[in-house]
């Protein structure tokens, strides 16, 4: 019987590269971050360099203890065993952004092994994705390809990385994205990584293969390199699965290779044949002694781990009555969860109970704020919007001072210019009218203008309530209190 596309099973493993959020590089004292705390960008090239991280002859690497601490923290946060002894090796290959001609990495003796990340899957509930290892390495520089020549920026050279290697446990692009999101949330919550995917400090390689359902042996895999957004990871894997299935059904064979994903064309293209370990000629770095870890230090790091995303999600649902969805969005990054906590603390200082305002704060953050961060491609903490802005906006909304629609407008304006909520409300005339007499006049005006619909409404067509509230909001230029409008309309209906 001939195979069809539905007869194949997808097998996916991810190799996630997370830049460690240390102030200095992995093997020298050169800063790895800009003074304001952001990762080094393209606007100031080759400023964070020194003879060590640019591979000058005669220089020697000195390992950063803080980088090791962050790597251990990352391992502990996903249940890894921290090996007492690990070895740094030289991974040899030639590329212009690798000035030494090799990358310092770890090969057969990594720092962390045998962890796991639990994810939620559609229809199958919770699934555990096993993590094979986490090893430390240094990042390469960055090539900028011009017409006919290339430039190299070494700012990123030797910035500390961890590579988190999963087992091939994922069976769909959706599962791969959920795993990547879960890992991103853990690493940003623990402060291990900034998690800015656009800047490349959290990126992944996806190993994708297909096999006929029921076959034990995995198919030949292709590796998709350096995908730096959740959406592109999903699209890249989906395209690669389709490509491999189509190739096999057409009588061809999948070759082991490295491919690049092009988001403009939503396609992958061959980059080079997939290297094996022997191609890199790994050998222990003679300039770096074995890394020996004191287990007492490991336990000290463990004792300082913050509340992890899974624990935080459960607490938000239990203590604040949030939905699993809202709790999941809020804990999707450490910065967003921290922002939410600061909003609740600010509301508590205003005399509000956290349990009473948590849902309102969550609605604003998972709604308008999420829209703004997604459009800008940044974390909320990188914007002009502050927890104080959100707390003041929420207080105005809860007290009836502004409508929910105008609350979104206040947030958008504060995001853009950083003005206080009160200043924005006053400058734009957004204060909500809650004077019952004034609103009754508006309702009377709307009823008179829509006599036919009013007759239908009073005759039992209850769905028209929304129409009348909407017309009243329009007539009041969005400043009328919708709850009071609803109350007045229903009272007039009962009165005939």
Rounded mean pLDDT of the chain?
A: 91
CA atoms within 13 A on the CB side of 166: 29
Nearest to 79 by CA among 36, 132, 119: 132
pLDDT of residue 40: 47
Residue 72 pLDDT: 98
> What pLDDT sits at residue 200?
84
Question: What is the rounded CA–CA span in Å between residue 226 and residue 139?
Answer: 13
Q: Which residues contact 256 (CB under 8 A, 6 or more apart)?
A: 220, 221, 222, 273, 274
pLDDT tens per residue, range 119-148: 988 777 889 999 999 999 999 999 888 889
CATH of region 436-494 = 1.10.10
Closest Cα partner for 340 from 328, 358, 322? 358
Judge whether residue 214 has pLDDT over 60.
Answer: yes
Count CA within 13 A, CB hemisphere, residue 31.
Answer: 11
How large is the average pLDDT for residues 430-449? 88
**φ and ψ of 152, to 5 deg:** -125, 130
Residues in contact with 360: Cβ distance below 8 Å, sequence separation at least 6, in sequence order: 394, 397, 398
Strand, coil or helix: what is 130?
strand
Among 167, 139, 166, 164, smallest CA distance to 154 is for 139
Model confidence at 482, pLDDT cuts 50, 70, 90, reads confident
Distance CA 426, CA 423 (A): 5
Query: How many whole angstroms separate alpha carbon 374 and alpha carbon 369?
Result: 9
The pLDDT, as a whole number, for residue 34 is 65
Q: Token digits for 256?
A: 């082991």
On the 0-12 / 13-18 / 19+ scale of CB atoms within 10 A, 276 is exposed
What's the pLDDT band for 43 if we cut at 50, 70, 90?
Answer: low
- This prediction has a pTM of 0.85
The domain segmentation of the chain, as residue ranges, is 5-299, 307-428, 436-494
Other beta carbons less than 10 A from residue 153's beta carbon: 20
In this predicted structure, the answer to whether residue 14 has a pLDDT above a threshold of 80 is: yes
Nearest to 159 by CA among 329, 39, 16: 39
> Who's near 312: CB < 8 A, 6+ residues apart?
189, 327, 330, 331, 337
125: left (phi over 0), alpha (psi -120 to 50) or beta: left
Q: Is the pLDDT of residue 87 over 80?
A: yes
Tell me the CA end-to-end span of the chain in Å, nearest whole number.
72
Q: What is the pLDDT of residue 37?
A: 46
Is the CB of residue 202 less than 8 Å from the CB of residue 196? yes
- Name 133's bridge partners: 113, 165
Question: 364 pLDDT exceeds 80?
Answer: yes
Quick one: average pLDDT of 209-235? 92
Q: How confident is the model at residue 433 (pLDDT cuts 50, 70, 90)?
A: confident
Q: What is the pLDDT of residues 49-58, one digit of tens each?
A: 999 999 999 9
Say if CB 67 and CB 160 are below 8 A apart. yes
Owner of token pair 């999101």: 181
> Pairing mode, if any, of strands 222-227 and 142-145?
unpaired
- pLDDT per residue as tens digits for the range 323-336: 999 999 999 888 89
- Each residue of 269-296: pLDDT tens digit? 888 776 666 688 999 999 999 999 999 9
Taking CA atoms, 365 is separated from 201, 370, 405, in Å, by 24, 6, 14
**pLDDT over 60 (residue 39):** no
Given a cut of 50, is residue 179 above it in pLDDT?
yes
- Mean pLDDT throughout 6-11? 94
């Amino acid at each position: 019987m001939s195979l069809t596309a539905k007869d194949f099973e997808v097998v996916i493993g991810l190799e996630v590269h997370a830049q460690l959020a240390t102030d200095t590089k992995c093997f020298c004292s050169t800063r790895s971050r800009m003074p304001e705390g952001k990762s080094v960008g393209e606007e100031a090239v080759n400023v964070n360099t020194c003879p060590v991280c640019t591979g000058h002859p005669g220089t020697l690497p000195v390992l950063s203890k803080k980088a090791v601490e962050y790597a251990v923290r990352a391992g502990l946060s996903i249940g890894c065993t921290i090996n007492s002894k690990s070895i740094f090796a030289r991974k040899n290959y030639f590329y212009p952004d690798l000035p030494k001609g090799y990358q310092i990495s770890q090969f057969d003796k990594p720092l962390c092994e045998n962890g796991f990340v639990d994810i939620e899957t559609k229809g199958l509930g919770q699934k555990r994705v096993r993590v094979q290892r986490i090893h430390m390495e240094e990042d390469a520089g960055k090539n900028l390809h011009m017409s006919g020549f290339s430039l190299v920026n070494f700012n990123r050279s030797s910035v500390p990385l961890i590579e988190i290697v999963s087992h091939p446990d994922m069976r769909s692009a959706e599962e791969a994205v959920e795993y990547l999101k879960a890992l991103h949330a853990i690493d940003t919550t623990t402060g291990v990584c900034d998690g800015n995917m656009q800047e490349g400090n959290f990126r992944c390689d996806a190993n994708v293969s297909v096999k006929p359902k029921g076959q034990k042996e995995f198919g030949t895999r292709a590796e998709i390199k350096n995908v730096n957004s959740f959406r592109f990871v999903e699209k890249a894997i989906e395209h690669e699965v389709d490509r491999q299935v189509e190739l096999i059904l057409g009588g061809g064979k999948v070759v082991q290779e490295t491919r690049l994903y092009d988001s403009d064309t939503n396609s992958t293209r061959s980059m080079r044949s997939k290297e094996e370990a022997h191609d890199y000629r790994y050998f222990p770095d003679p300039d770096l002694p074995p890394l020996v870890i004191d287990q007492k230090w490991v336990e000290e790091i463990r004792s300082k781990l913050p509340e992890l995303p899974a624990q935080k999600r459960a607490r938000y649902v239990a203590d604040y009555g949030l939905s699993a969805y809202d709790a999941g969005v809020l804990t999707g990054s450490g910065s967003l969860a921290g922002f939410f906590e600061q909003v609740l603390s600010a509301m508590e200082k205003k005399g509000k109970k956290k349990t009473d305002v948590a849902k309102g704060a969550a609605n604003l953050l998972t709604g308008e704020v999420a829209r703004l961060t997604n459009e800008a491609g940044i974390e909320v903490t990188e914007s002009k919007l502050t927890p104080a802005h959100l707390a003041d906006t929420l207080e105005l909304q809860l007290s009836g001072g502004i409508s929910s629609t105008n609350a979104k407008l206040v947030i958008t304006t504060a995001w853009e210019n950083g003005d206080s909520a009160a200043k924005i409300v006053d400058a734009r005339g957004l204060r909500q009218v809650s004077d019952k007499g004034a609103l009754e006049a508006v309702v009377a005006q709307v009823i008179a203008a829509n006599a036919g619909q009013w007759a239908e409404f009073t005759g039992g067509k209850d769905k028209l309530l929304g129409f009348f509230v909407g017309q009243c909001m329009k007539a009041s230029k969005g400043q009328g209190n919708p709850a009071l409008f609803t109350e007045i309309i229903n009272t007039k209906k009962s009165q005939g």
